[in-house]
Amino acid sequence: MRILFLGDVMGRSGRTAVTERLPGLRAEWRLDAVIVNGENASSGRGLNAAQARGLLDAGADVITLGDHALDQKDMMQAVEKEPRILRPINYAKQAPGRGWRVFEIGGKRLLVAQVLGQVFMSRTYDDPFSAIEPVLTAHPLGRAVDAILVDMHCEATSEKMAMGHFCDRRASVVVGTHTHVPTADAMILPGGTAYQTDAGMCGDYDSVIGMEKAEPLRRFVTGMTRERFTPAGGAATLCGLFVETDDATGLAQTVAQVRIGGRLSQSAPA
């Protein structure tokens, strides 16, 4: 399978970049599946139902969320009604929606799951490792499913890397989200799992992790809050990870970072 994962969509700028560019990329790269993290698509906090529909209509097969999964009120209902939207597995047990699902896409079975890390996060979540273990055990790669992608949404690079090694040989892709900066460590782990610590964001990088610079700078320099954070509205860089898997095993054969448009240096699969 040829899989594209796009990192945290940040505000209007990120949504525009995805909706304008994704249809062309699907055709040009002959993509079988596209997974988009929509965690910050709605003014930087969560995702609403209308914006989710826009991402799906643009060509996303699955949308993952994160610690702001239910910040937008109508997502409480949307995540129940729309099976293509996933919130983290280890979110509050009473939360609506699901944290993983098997999708039939072009005759292939793709399992997508999302877990939240615990280190440096603002809330206490269940252990992500014990949360993902039964899912991987019940769906052996290359037999029960053709490919598995795990979105590890957390702060600590160490926790993300630990999840990559924990899933090695049992998942096609483990990719980190949440910190909005693409890391330079896209690779295939020893067991055959494609990995990147953070895919980066789809947003304006002339910013402080996607937010207009003035208010974050004021808080850092003075320790005082004056205004709410506002997503930066300049040209966005579409950031993500491209992976091609082996049909027999489901393990990764090719991995490449994606950075298109905006201010960052450009990168795309050969």
- Supply 92's token pair: 């509050």
Tens digit of pLDDT at every position of the chain (270 positions): 999 999 999 999 999 999 999 999 999 999 999 999 999 999 888 999 999 999 999 999 999 999 998 889 999 999 999 999 999 999 988 899 999 999 999 999 999 999 999 999 877 789 999 999 999 999 999 999 999 999 999 999 999 999 999 999 999 999 999 999 999 999 999 999 999 999 999 999 999 999 999 999 999 999 999 999 999 999 999 999 999 999 999 999 999 999 999 999 999 998
Asked about 68 being catalytic, the answer comes back as yes
For 133-193, list the strands marked E by DSSP. Answer: 147-153, 173-177, 187-188
Name the catalytic one among 68, 139, 178, 180.
68
Rounded Cα–Cα distance for residues 57 and 30 (Å): 17
Decide: 13 and 203 in contact? Cβ < 8 Å. Answer: yes
The pTM of the full predicted model, rounded to 2 decimals, is: 0.96
Dihedral angle, C-alpha 204, 267, 155, 54, nearest 10 °: 50
